[in-house]
C-alpha cells in the first residue's frame, strides 16, 4: 500500500462521511510525518456503525473480503485485484468514551493526527501506538516503528524491545 494509495483510500472514505482513524504502520509514519518503511496494508479503525457503508463503498472500488483465521465482524481485511489491502478494525464507544463493543479502542486512543502523502489524517496517538506494539511476537518492523516513536516523542522503549537493542550491541 503506497502513501498515495493510502491517502486516496482515506480521502474516499472521509468524503462519504466515515470517521476513519489510521492505525498500524501507516499511523506510525503519519505521526512521524514521513514514510519510514514499506507497508503491505492500511490499518484503519472506525465506528462499527460505519461498517456497512465502508463495505459497500469499497466494493464499488473493487475491494473484496479476504478471509483469515482471525476474521470476525469487527476485524477483517478488504483487498483489491492490484494487491492493495485495508485491514479494518471497528468499535463502538459508550458516552464516556470507553469501549462498548468490537476492537477495544477507547476515545483516548483516537487522539492522534499526522500526515500521509501531505494529507492530514486522524490516527492513533503515539503513546498508544507504542503500547499497541507490545504483547505479541515482535519482528523487525515492530522494533523499527517503536524505536522511532520512542525517540521522536520521548517515550520509554518497552522492556520487550530490549532484545533488539542487545542484538545490535553484540
Q: What pTM was computed for the model? A: 0.93
Domain boundaries 3-125, corresponding CATH code? 3.30.460.40
Q: What is the mean pLDDT of residues 120-144?
A: 95
Residues 6+ apart with CB under 8 A from 167: none
User: What is the per-residue pLDDT for 170?
Assistant: 44
pLDDT band at 167 (very low <50, low <70, confident <90, very high): low
**pLDDT tens digits for 64-85?**
999 999 999 999 999 999 999 9
pLDDT at 119 (0 to 100)? 96
Locate the domains of the chain by residue range. 3-125
pLDDT of residue 66: 95
Cα(92)–Cα(74) distance, rounded to whole angstroms? 10
19-66 residue pLDDT tens: 999 999 999 999 999 999 999 999 999 999 999 999 999 999 999 999
Amino acid at each position: 500500500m503506497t502513501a498515495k494509495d493510502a491517502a486516496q483510500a482515506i480521502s474516499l472514505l472521509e468524503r462519504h462521511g466515515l470517521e476513519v482513524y489510521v492505525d498500524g504502520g501507516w499511523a506510525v509514519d503519519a505521526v512521524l510525518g514521513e514514510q519510514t518503511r514499506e507497508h503491505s496494508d492500511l490499518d484503519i479503525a472506525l465506528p462499527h456503525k460505519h461498517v456497512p457503508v465502508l463495505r459497500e463503498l469499497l466494493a464499488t472500488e473493487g475491494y473484496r473480503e479476504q478471509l483469515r483465521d482471525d476474521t470476525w465482524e469487527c476485524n477483517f481485511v478488504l483487498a483489491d485485484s492490484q494487491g492493495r489491502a485495508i485491514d479494518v478494525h471497528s468499535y463502538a464507544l459508550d458516552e464516556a468514551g470507553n469501549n462498548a463493543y468490537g476492537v477495544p479502542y477507547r476515545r483516548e486512543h483516537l487522539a492522534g493526527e499526522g500526515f500521509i502523502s501531505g494529507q492530514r489524517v486522524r490516527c492513533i496517538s503515539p503513546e498508544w501506538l507504542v503500547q499497541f506494539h507490545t504483547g505479541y511476537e515482535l519482528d523487525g518492523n515492530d522494533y523499527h516503528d517503536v524505536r522511532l516513536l520512542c525517540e521522536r516523542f520521548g517515550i520509554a522503549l518497552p522492556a520487550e524491545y530490549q532484545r533488539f537493542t542487545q542484538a545490535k550491541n553484540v
